[in-house]
Homo-oligomer: A and B are copies of this chain.
Amino acid sequence: MPDIIHNGKKIPKAVIKRLSLYSRVLQNLELNDIKTISSQLLADALGYNPARVRKDLAYFGQFGTPGIGYHVKELREAIRNILGADRETRVALIGVGNLGSALLSYPGFRKQDIHIIVAFDKDKRKVDRDANGIRIRDISELEKTLNTERIDIVILTVPSEEAQGLTDRVVSAGIRAIMNFVPIHLTVPDNVKVQYVDFSTEMESLFYYLKKNAKISNFST
């Protein structure tokens, strides 16, 4: 992946993730009719340092007022603009198994204007069935549909053996962003971004911390 540049400044990847979290906090503040918020309070809501909040925002401009803080509504709109979250995100999902089905009806997506518009499966018994309001298509229609439906992002929820092959097809079809739920490393060209979501790895590191913490508390008792 090439570096991401905004107004001549290189933006760390982590900043983008946090922007999205700030936006969510601001959304809640707006619902509670809170008009302004300081970097301190915004940081507290997420367990961050206030300097980090100010620095993150400073990559993109000046949004606050010294002595006052940030105007909630304005800042939220600014962030949504930066993230492109003001437009609809058009998503395709490949592999309508248990996890795929769950994602099709994931409430968090709807809230953020992320729309899974098409779903594919290779199982003929699933094809043409309805999944959360959309028709499951045969995987043979993949390339054609990605184009006609102007898909931005592909979600992969297929068995491991099929992941790389489908990735290659999707990339050839012009897709540049893949959210990969399959626990293998995908090889893609440099201009394609893969976001890995890996439950087992997260679980294993949690368990490691747990084990370590247990030892630490044994020492102190």
Contact = CB atoms under 8 A, between A and B. Distances in A.
A106 B112 contact: no
Contacts of A46: 185
Nearest to A100: B102
A13 B206 CA distance: 10
A16 B101 contact: no
A191 B204 contact: no
Contact of A195 (B25, B101, B206): B206
A198 B103 CA distance: 12
Interface stretch (A67-75, A135-143, A162-170, A175-183): A175-183
Interface residues of A, number: 66
B199 A106 contact: yes
Contacts of A111: 200
Contacts of A183: 24, 108
A43 B82 CA distance: 34
14 contacts: A1-B209, A17-B201, A17-B202, A24-B184, A47-B185, A89-B207, A99-B102, A102-B102, A103-B199, A108-B183, A108-B198, A112-B204, A177-B210, A195-B203
A84 B20 contact: no
Given A101-B102, A193-B210, A200 B84 contact: no
A98 to B, nearest CB: 4
B108 A102 contact: no
Contacts of A177: 206-207, 209-210
